[in-house]
Amino acid sequence: MTATQAVLDRVTRVPGVRGAVVVAAADGLVVAEQLMDGVDGQAAAALTASLVGRLVRTAEGAGMRPPAFVQLRGDGGSVLAAPGPQDLVLVAVVGPDANLGLARLEMIEAVGRLA
Amino acid sequence: MRALEPWVVQPLETFLAESAARLTLLMTMSGQVVAQHGFSRSLDVMSAAALGAGIVASTEELARLMGASRFEALVHHGQRQSCMLAAFTTPRGRWIGLVVFGPETSVGIIRLFFDQMVQQLAAVAPREQTQPPMLAENFETELNASLKALFGR
Amino acid sequence: MTDDIRALTTRLADEPGSLAFLELAEALRRRGQLEAAYKVARGGLARYPGLADAHDLMARVLSDQGDLAGAFDAWTSALQLDPMRTSALKGVAFLYFRAGDKAAALDHLQRAHEVDPDDPAIPQTIARLSAQLRAGAPASAPVESAAAPSAPAIAPDSSERPSPGLFHDMDGGEQGLLLVDANGLRLGGRLGGADGNDVGDRVAAQLAGLSREAARATRLLGLGSWHSIAVESPDGHLVLTQPTADTVLLAARDPSLPMGRVGLLAERAARAARTWLETQG
């Protein structure tokens, strides 16, 4: 198992996580994915990368360093994103009943091991 | 945005609104233009269509030589602008999309909404009898008529 | 089609190389027919790439279309060809103002005033902008429509700004809270940067289109409508919410405050913003 797959495996074990992808932030393209049925990895990658890019610019405009974690919350769940090294972003799609605190901790810890 | 076929308009408009593409050209595999957005000169459209069709034909031949199935898309990254070429199947035959985009969007977004546009085109294309073969002497007349329609003249 | 547009269209059709495209595109732009105006301007610019009038016209059309980066390039080209072109100087000033760079906006307005001292709108705007820079006050002098020939809606004058009551009962007042409209213009609140200067306008500009982008992401991922965005930076916690369909609220706090509490603060501020917006009509 590669380091990237190990990261995805760890994140997707968190209760309520429907899928996780590693995204090349500049392009919004999938690098690796581990998804349940019904989760569109291509869309998660492209849309989250675009949103995170905008939030990075917002944080910079506010004089802050780039975000370490982002949560987009919707009616039916959330998208979580943890920017990592080499312009990669770890993205997880989670249901409304997911253990968000655990998912967040796992993602922040795991993203540093992406290479 | 201009299109020769009215059923192309809505899917293409949706793609343009979502993707923030700067220039878009839809054409047949022979380079006959179906719709365009962002081009201001007919000469540019003709050149881009001819070059795009040629590149896709070369790429598909390369794939065939490699024993691979067709490539889905070709992306050229530039410093200020990038370009994607993708061939896709419609009820009217295989077409090619040429999309030019800048740093305000990403290839991921372009591909995501391009794929959605392809699905929408497949869903809304009228099912008609097959077109009669294009004769060489009719080609230039057809091309000029297409260009006039595409530039609103 | 009005008579003047019809006449100009005929003239341009008869003489494609004439300068009638300038009048025609401007008439179309004033009528809000921006796509047609763009095509005419583009065609004229292709024929006359060295004509400052053509670049100026294109900039106005692009500005109306919301392509501010394109408008900036076009006005810059106009100034390269004609450094004393006041309309381009005013246009660039407006764009700098929109981007939050008041110093650059002031510089361009002063140059415009030197070229055209008889334009009364310029010194008025210079005075307001200078006063704000001296006071270090948060944004928004009204750069009047004369200052940018096709300026879109501008943030209100300091004397017409939302009353202090918008966030008056929030902990910390309006500091660290920003209410932004769909166009990226600040409606209220204040956001201090790392150096203490107000960065509200700069951040507001980044938030233009955020609501649409967030809604698109949750919709296409099957997550319904979006509620909030939480952003953790080493330097601060941000929470973004949507008080109304056309506004975004940003709450920013020190990273020592737990994100959950920042979220509660954002919800309270969003309620206050909704109440205030209802009073604005």
Q: Which residue has the tokens 């365009």?
A: B36
Q: Is the model more confident about B92 or about A76?
A: A76
Strands B23-28 and B93-101: antiparallel
Residue type at C173 in one-letter notation? G
Hey, is C3 helix, strand or coil? helix
C contact chains, 3+ CB pairs < 8 A = A, B
Q: What are the percentages of helix, strand and coil residues in chain C, rounded to 5?
A: 55, 10, 35
Q: Which stretch, B139-153, C11-25, C192-206, has highest mean pLDDT? A: C192-206
Q: Supply the CATH number for residue B140's domain.
A: 3.30.450.30
Which residues, other chains included, contact C118 with Cβ-Cβ below 8 Å and sequence gap of 6+?
Answer: none
CATH 3.30.450.30 fits A3-111, yes or no: yes
Q: How many CB atoms lie within 10 A of CB C163?
A: 10
Q: Is the pLDDT of residue C160 over 80?
A: no
Nearest CA in chain C to A54: C206
CB contact under 8 A, A29 and B108: yes
Domain assignment present for residue B150? The answer is no
CB contact under 8 A, B41 and C216: no
pLDDT (average), residues A47-75: 95
| Two structure tokens written together for C120 | 């009364």
Average pLDDT, chain B: 85
Strands A88-94 and B73-76: unpaired
Domain assignment present for residue B93? The answer is yes
Query: Could you tell me the pLDDT band of residue B146, with boundaries at 50, 70 and 90?
Result: low
Q: Is the pLDDT of residue B46 over 90?
A: no
Q: Is the model more confident about C115 or about C220?
A: C220
Which of B18, B40, B104 is the closest to C46 by Cβ?
B40
Nearest CA in chain B to C41: B40
Q: How many CB pairs under 8 A join A and C?
A: 115
| Two structure tokens written together for C188 | 């209220």
Question: What are the structural domains, with CATH classification, of chain C?
Answer: 3-82 (1.25.40.10), 102-147 (no CATH), 162-280 (3.30.450.30)
Long-range contacts for C8-15 (Cβ within 8 Å, ≥24 apart)? C12/C40
CB contact under 8 A, A29 and B115: no
Q: What proportion of chain A, given as a percentage, has pLDDT over 70?
A: 99
C-alpha B14/C-alpha B19 separation (Å) is 8
C-alpha C210/C-alpha A53 separation (Å) is 11
Kindly state the helix (H) or strand (E) to which residue C182 belongs, with its residue range: none
Average pLDDT, chain C: 81
Global pTM? 0.67
Residue type at A55 in one-letter notation? L
Range of the domain at B85: 2-126+134-144
Residue type at B38 in one-letter notation? G
CB contact under 8 A, B40 and C216: no
C166, C179 contact by CB (below 8 A): yes
Q: Is the pLDDT of residue B153 over 80?
A: no
CB contact under 8 A, C39 and B40: yes
How far is the alpha carbon of A2 from chain C, nearest alpha carbon, in Å? Answer: 27
| Two structure tokens written together for B77 | 């990254």
Q: What proportion of chain B, given as a percentage, has pLDDT over 70?
A: 83
Which of A2-6, A74-78, B10-14, B66-70 is predicted least confidently? B66-70
Domain assignment present for residue B153? The answer is no
C-alpha C156/C-alpha C5 separation (Å) is 34
Contacts of C69 in chain B (CB under 8 A): 104
Q: Is the pLDDT of residue B134 over 80?
A: no
Domain assignment present for residue B88? The answer is yes
| Two structure tokens written together for C60 | 């106005």
A contact chains, 3+ CB pairs < 8 A = B, C
| Two structure tokens written together for C176 | 């660290």
pLDDT (average), residues B140-153: 62
Hey, is A97 helix, strand or coil? coil
CB contact under 8 A, C46 and B152: no
Per residue in B1-32, pLDDT (tens digit) is 888 888 999 999 999 999 999 999 999 998 88
Q: Is the pLDDT of residue A105 over 60?
A: yes
Q: Is the model more confident about C81 or about B112?
A: B112
Which residues, other chains included, contact C70 with Cβ-Cβ below 8 Å and sequence gap of 6+?
Answer: C58, C59, C62
Nearest CA in chain A to C228: A73
Q: Does C42 touch chain B (CB under 8 A)?
A: yes
| Two structure tokens written together for A11 | 């994140």
Nearest CA in chain A to C192: A62
Domain assignment present for residue B149? The answer is no
**Strand positions, DSSP E, chain B:** 2-3, 23-28, 33-37, 73-76, 82-90, 93-101
Per residue in C128-155, pLDDT (tens digit) is 778 777 766 544 444 443 334 443 333 3
Average pLDDT, chain A: 94
CB contact under 8 A, A59 and C231: yes
Contacts of B111 in chain A (CB under 8 A): 29, 42, 46
C237, A104 contact by CB (below 8 A): no
- Selected for mutation to probe chain A from B18, B112, B115 (highest A CB count within 10 Å) is B112
| Two structure tokens written together for B119 | 């699905």
Q: How many CB atoms lie within 10 A of CB A24?
A: 18
CB contact under 8 A, A59 and C233: yes
H-type alpha helices, C99-209: 102-115, 121-135, 200-206
Q: How many CB pairs under 8 A join B and C?
A: 8
Contacts of B107 in chain A (CB under 8 A): 27-29
Per residue in C4-56, pLDDT (tens digit) is 788 888 888 877 777 888 888 888 888 778 888 888 898 888 778 777 888 88
What residue ranges do the domains of chain A occupy? 3-111
C73, C57 contact by CB (below 8 A): no
C-alpha C234/C-alpha A1 separation (Å) is 32
What is the pLDDT at residue C194?
A: 77
Q: What is the DSSP letter of B135?
A: P
Which of B47-56, B107-116, C131-140 is predicted least confidently? C131-140
Q: Which phi-psi region, left, alpha or beta, contains residue A63 (left: φ > 0; alpha: ψ -120 to 50)?
A: left
Q: Dihedrals φ, ψ of C29, to 5°?
A: -60, -45
Instruction: Tell me chain B's radius of gyration from C-alpha atoms.
Output: 15
What is the pLDDT at residue A89?
A: 97
pLDDT (average), residues C167-180: 82
Q: Does C113 touch chain A (CB under 8 A)?
A: no
- Specify which residues A17 forms β-bridges with: A94
How far is the alpha carbon of B108 from chain A, nearest alpha carbon, in Å? Answer: 4
Indicate the number of domains in chain B: 1
Which of A44, A55, A72 is the closest to C226 by Cβ?
A72
CB contact under 8 A, C42 and B40: yes
Q: Is the pLDDT of residue B145 over 70?
A: no
Q: Which one, of C121, C203, C127, lies nearest residue C159 by Cα?
A: C127
C35, C20 contact by CB (below 8 A): no
What is the pLDDT at residue B152?
A: 58
Which residues of A touch chain B, with CB atoms under 8 Å apart?
A: 23, 26-29, 42-43, 45-47, 49-50, 53
**Strand positions, DSSP E, C151-281:** 177-181, 186-190, 226-233, 236-241, 247-253
Contacts of A27 in chain B (CB under 8 A): 106-108
Alpha carbon separation from B17 to A26, B31, C187, C209 (Å, rounded): 20, 25, 26, 12
